[in-house]
C-alpha cells in the first residue's frame, strides 16, 4: 500500500473483491479511470470524492453517535471497510478519537466482544486446534512480509482482567496505534489472540460467547501452545517484532525472559509502561530540580506493570545517575494486596520476581500493622515520606485524601502517577490530587483526563502516561533496523528521547509529557533513538549510517493516502 503520495500500485482484484477488501477499497474515492479498469463503474454512485471529503462525511456520521461505545463500533466498521479512510479520519482527529479506539472505550468493546461481534479481525489460534496451528498460521501469513505480530492471551486486559477471546480487541487496538502513530503498514502487521480458554465465569455462562468455552489452560500445555506459536513466528518471519500484550502476571515476565534473547520480543505492559514512566519521572525531577536517584518511590500494585515500572526506573537510575543495582533497588517500596512487600510476608506471598525489592523487617519494626502484620499504604507513606507515588493496582480511589495529604506534608512537589486503566479505575482522580495538594502535585495518569484548575486560576494539563506514547516508536525502531533482539539499552534510549521532548522542560507548569496530539512526532523521534542505539550496539540487522536513519524511517512510513491503482493480474491481492 501507499508509503507516499502519488504512489502507483498494481492490483489484481476486480469488482466486489476490491470493494470489500479494506486494504484496497477506496469507496467513492476510486477515480473514473480506476472505476473503468476495475469493473466498478456500475457499482458506485457517480461522484468521485477526495479522501478529505470522505473524512468529512465519515466524521459527520461518527458525531451522530453520542455514546463512546457506539462511536467505537462505527469506527470498527469503517476499519473493516477501508483502511485509508479509517486511518485518515483518525489522523485528522487524533486526540479526540484515540480514547474511542483505545483506552478507555476499547475496554468496554472488549468486555462486550461476543455481543458486539460482527466480523472477525486478526488471527484466532485456539487451544483445541493446536494440531493445525501451523496451517492456520500460514493461511494468513504465507507469502506476506510481516513486520509485526501483536499477541495477547487476554488474561489481564487493561485493568478489566480475563476477557477470553475478546482479547483480540486489545491486539487489534495496539496494532492500529502502531499504524497511526509510527506508520507501520497495516498489511504488514498481524493481531493474534491465543484462545486458551477463560476463567471469567460470566463469559463461560454466556450463551453468546464466541470463544472456546473452557477453563483456562495452564502449566505445561499452555507453555507448549505458546511456544508453538512463537516458533512459527521465528521460523517464518525471523525479522519481525513480536509484541506481547496483557498476558497475566504468572506469564508476562516469564515469557519475556524465556524469549528475549531469541527473537525481537517486547512486552508492552512491562517495557512500554516502564519506559513511558521513566520519561515522565525524568521530566518531573527536572521540574523539582532533583535527580532520579534522590527519589523515594512507592509503587502501589506490584503486578506486571508495577514491576515493569520499578525495574525500568531502577535501570534508569543506574544508567543515568550511575548508582549500583543494590543502591538503586533501595529507592523502591512496593505494595501489593498484602500491603508492603517485606520479608516477613514469607515466600507464599512474595513472588520470586519481586525478591530484589523486598524490604527488611527491621526497617518496619515500629510501623503500625494490621492483625496479619500487613503494613498499608498510609503507614508506608508516613514512614517513607515518598517523593513519588505510582499506582498500577486497578484499585479505584486507593490514593485517598489522607494518603495524598500525608505525602504532601513531607514533599514540596509530590509526584503522583495513578496509572490504572480504564479511567474509572484510577487510584486518584487527578483533580482531587490537585486540590488536596493545593496545586503542588506533579501528575500523570494512564487514561486521558481533563486539565485541573490551579489555585492561581491557571490550568494544569495532566500528562497521559500511557505506553502508547512510546511503544509504537520503540517497536518501529527495532523493526526498521531488523533488530535481532530488543535490548534494555534500546528501550532506555527511547525513554530518554521522549523525556527530552517534555513540555515541562520549557516551563515547569506545563504537562510532564507531550500531548497525545503530538504522538506521531514523539514516536518518530523515539523510533530514531531506538534505531540509532540498535546500530550503535550491533543488534541491528541492517548496515545503515546513523545520519541516514531519519530519512530511512520517513521513507518507510505508511501514510493514509490513496495510491493510484493500475490493474495487473500479477499485482497485489
What's the rounded Cα separation, in Å, for the pair 13 and 568? 8
Rounded to a whole number of angstroms, the minimum distance from the CB of residue 368 to Mg ion is 35
Question: Residue 263 in contact with residue 479, Cβ under 8 Å?
Answer: no
Identify the bridge partners of residue 267 per DSSP, sorted by sequence position.
244
- Angle, helix 304-321 to helix 252-259, in steps of 10 degrees: 50
Residue among 100, 133, 154, 158 that touches ligand NAI (CB under 6 A): 158
By CB under 6 A, what part of segment 128-157 binds ligand NAI? 156
Which of 174, 253, 342, 520 is catalytic? The answer is 174
Which residues are CB-contacts of 267 (< 8 A; sequence separation ≥ 6)?
243, 244, 245, 247, 252, 253, 255, 256, 304, 308
Q: Is 246 an interacting residue with respect to ligand PYR (CB under 6 A)?
A: yes
Site string for ligand PYR, 388-427 (x = CB under 6 A): ---------------------------------x------
Would you say 419 or 540 has its CB closer to Mg ion? 419
Backbone angles phi, psi at 265, to 5 degrees: -110, 155
- Could you say which DSSP state residue 184 is in? -
Residue among 148, 151, 302, 495 that touches ligand NAI (CB under 6 A): 302
Task: Report which residue's Cβ sits closest to ligand NAI.
Answer: 303
29 binds, among ligand NAI, ligand PYR, Mg ion, none (CB under 5 to 8 A by kind): none
- Other beta carbons within 10 angstroms of residue 438's beta carbon come to 11
Number of residues that make up the chain: 573
Query: What is the signed CA dihedral for 208, 211, 214, 217, rounded to 10 degrees?
Result: -160
Classified as helix, coil or strand, 362 is helix
Identify the bridge partners of residue 463 per DSSP, sorted by sequence position.
444
Rounded to a whole number of angstroms, the minimum distance from the CB of residue 243 to ligand PYR is 11
What's the rounded Cα separation, in Å, for the pair 134 and 233? 10
Residue among 155, 162, 195, 246 that touches Mg ion (CB under 5 A): 246
Rounded to a whole number of angstroms, the minimum distance from the CB of residue 45 to ligand PYR is 41
Rounded to a whole number of angstroms, the minimum distance from the CB of residue 252 to ligand PYR is 10
What's the rounded Cα separation, in Å, for the pair 360 and 371? 19
Rounded to a whole number of angstroms, the minimum distance from the CB of residue 269 to Mg ion is 4
Task: Pick the closest to residue 336 from 276, 295, 380, 294 (CA basis).
Answer: 380
Would you say 164 or 301 has its CB closer to ligand NAI? 301
Q: Is 153 an interacting residue with respect to ligand PYR (CB under 6 A)?
A: no
Backbone angles phi, psi at 367, to 5 degrees: -80, 150
Contacts of 382-386 spanning 24+ positions with Cβ under 8 A? 382/406, 384/296, 384/298, 384/333, 385/296, 385/410, 385/411, 386/295, 386/296, 386/297, 386/298, 386/333, 386/411, 386/414
Rounded to a whole number of angstroms, the minimum distance from the CB of residue 436 to ligand PYR is 25
Q: Is 301 an interacting residue with respect to ligand NAI (CB under 6 A)?
A: yes
Site string for ligand PYR, 94-113 (x = CB under 6 A): ---------x----------
- Mark whether 259 is an active-site residue: no
Place of cell 503542588: 440
What's the rounded Cα separation, in Å, for the pair 216 and 198? 5
Rounded to a whole number of angstroms, the minimum distance from the CB of residue 182 to ligand PYR is 16
Site string for ligand NAI, 228-267 (x = CB under 6 A): ---------------------x------------------
Q: Is 361 assigned a ligand-binding role in the annotation?
A: no
Interface with Mg ion: number of residues (CB under 5 A): 2
Identify the bridge partners of residue 452 per DSSP, sorted by sequence position.
460
What's the rounded Cα separation, in Å, for the pair 337 and 374? 9
Backbone angles phi, psi at 335, to 5 degrees: -125, 145
Q: Is 466 assigned a ligand-binding role in the annotation?
A: yes
Q: Is 98 an interacting residue with respect to ligand NAI (CB under 6 A)?
A: no
Q: Is 380 an interacting residue with respect to ligand NAI (CB under 6 A)?
A: no
By CB under 5 A, what part of segment 261-280 binds Mg ion? 269
Q: Is 269 assigned a ligand-binding role in the annotation?
A: yes
- Mark whether 222 is an active-site residue: no
By CB under 6 A, what part of segment 258-277 binds ligand PYR? 268-269
Q: Is 462 an interacting residue with respect to ligand NAI (CB under 6 A)?
A: no
Which of 86, 87, 102, 209 is catalytic? The answer is 102
Stretch that binds Mg ion, among 239-247, 484-492, 516-524, 565-573 (CB under 5 A): 239-247
What's the rounded Cα separation, in Å, for the pair 143 and 67? 41
Rounded to a whole number of angstroms, the minimum distance from the CB of residue 213 to Mg ion is 25
Stretch that binds Mg ion, among 92-100, 244-252, 382-390, 450-458 (CB under 5 A): 244-252
What does the binding site for ligand NAI look like in residue numbers (CB under 6 A)? 156, 158-159, 249, 269, 273, 300-306, 335-337, 392-395, 419-421, 425, 446, 465-467
Which residues does the annotation place in the binding site?
A: 245-246, 269, 421, 466
What does the binding site for ligand PYR look like in residue numbers (CB under 6 A)? 103, 158, 246, 268-269, 421, 466-467
Active site residues: 102, 174
Amino acid at each position: 500500500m501507499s508509503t507516499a503520495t502519488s504512489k502507483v500500485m498494481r492490483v489484481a482484484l476486480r469488482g466486489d473483491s476490491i470493494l470489500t477488501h479494506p486494504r484496497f477499497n477506496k469507496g467513492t474515492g476510486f477515480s473514473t479511470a480506476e472505476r473503468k479498469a476495475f469493473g466498478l463503474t456500475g457499482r458506485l454512485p457517480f461522484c468521485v470524492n477526495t479522501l478529505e471529503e470522505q473524512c468529512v462525511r465519515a466524521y459527520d456520521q461518527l458525531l451522530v453517535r453520542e455514546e463512546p461505545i457506539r462511536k467505537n463500533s462505527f469506527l470498527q466498521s469503517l476499519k473493516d471497510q477501508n483502511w485509508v479512510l479509517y486511518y485518515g479520519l483518525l489522523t485528522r482527529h487524533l486526540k479526540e478519537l484515540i480514547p474511542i479506539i483505545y483506552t478507555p472505550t476499547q475496554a468496554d468493546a472488549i468486555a462486550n466482544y461476543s455481543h458486539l461481534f460482527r466480523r472477525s479481525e486478526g488471527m484466532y489460534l485456539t487451544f483445541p486446534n493446536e494440531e493445525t496451528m501451523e496451517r492456520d498460521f500460514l493461511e494468513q501469513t504465507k507469502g506476506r512480509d510481516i513486520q509485526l505480530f501483536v499477541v495477547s492471551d487476554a488474561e489481564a486486559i487493561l485493568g478489566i482482567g480475563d476477557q477470553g477471546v475478546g482479547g483480540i480487541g486489545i491486539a487489534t487496538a495496539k496494532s492500529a496505534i502502531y499504524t497511526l502513530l509510527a506508520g507501520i503498514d497495516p498489511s504488514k502487521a498481524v493481531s493474534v489472540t491465543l484462545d486458551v480458554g477463560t476463567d471469567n465465569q460470566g463469559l463461560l455462562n454466556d450463551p453468546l460467547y464466541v470463544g472456546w468455552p473452557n477453563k483456562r489452560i495452564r502449566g505445561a500445555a499452555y507453555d507448549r501452545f505458546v511456544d508453538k506459536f512463537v516458533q512459527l513466528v521465528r521460523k517464518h518471519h525471523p525479522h519481525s517484532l513480536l509484541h506481547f500484550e496483557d498476558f497475566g502476571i504468572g506469564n508476562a515476565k516469564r515469557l519475556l525472559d524465556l524469549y528475549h534473547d531469541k527473537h525481537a520480543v517486547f512486552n508492552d505492559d512491562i517495557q512500554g509502561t516502564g519506559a513511558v514512566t521513566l520519561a515522565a519521572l525524568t521530566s518531573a525531577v527536572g521540574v523539582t530540580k532533583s535527580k532520579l536517584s534522590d527519589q523515594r518511590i512507592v509503587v502501589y500494585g506490584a503486578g506486571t506493570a508495577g514491576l515493569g515500572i520499578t525495574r525500568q526506573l531502577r535501570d534508569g537510575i543506574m544508567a543515568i545517575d550511575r548508582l549500583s543495582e543494590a543502591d538503586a533497588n533501595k529507592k523502591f517500596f512496593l505494595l501489593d494486596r498484602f500491603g508492603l512487600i517485606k520479608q516477613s510476608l514469607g515466600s507464599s506471598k512474595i513472588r520470586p520476581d519481586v525478591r530484589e525489592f523486598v524490604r527488611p523487617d527491621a526497617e518496619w519494626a515500629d510501623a503500625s500493622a494490621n492483625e496479619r502484620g500487613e503494613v498499608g499504604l498510609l503507614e508506608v507513606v508516613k514512614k517513607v515520606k515518598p517523593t513519588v507515588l505510582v499506582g498500577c493496582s486497578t484499585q479505584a480511589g486507593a490514593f485517598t485524601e489522607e494518603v495524598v495529604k500525608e505525602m504532601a506534608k513531607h514533599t514540596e512537589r509530590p509526584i503522583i502517577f495513578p496509572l490504572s486503566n480504564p479511567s474509572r479505575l484510577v487510584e486518584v482522580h487527578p483533580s482531587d490530587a490537585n486540590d488536596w495538594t493545593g496545586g503542588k502535585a506533579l501528575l500523570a495518569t494512564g487514561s486521558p483526563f481533563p486539565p485541573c484548575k490551579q489555585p492561581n486560576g491557571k490550568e494544569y494539563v495532566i500528562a497521559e502516561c500511557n505506553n502508547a506514547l512510546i511503544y509504537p516508536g520503540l517497536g518501529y525502531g527495532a523493526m526498521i533496523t531488523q533488530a535481532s533482539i530488543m535490548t534494555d539499552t534500546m528501550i532506555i534510549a527511547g525513554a530518554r528521547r521522549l523525556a527530552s521532548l517534555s513540555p515541562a522542560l520549557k516551563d515547569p507548569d506545563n504537562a510532564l509529557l507531550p500531548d497525545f496530539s503530538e504522538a506521531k512526532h514523539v514516536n518518530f523521534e523515539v523510533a530514531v533513538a531506538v534505531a540509532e542505539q540498535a546500530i550503535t550496539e550491533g543488534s541491528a540487522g541492517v548496515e545503515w549510517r546513523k545520519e541516514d536513519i531519519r530519512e530511512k524511517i520517513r521513507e518507510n512510513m505508511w501514510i493514509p493516502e490513496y495510491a493510484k491503482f493500475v490493474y495487473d493480474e500479477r499485482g497485489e491481492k
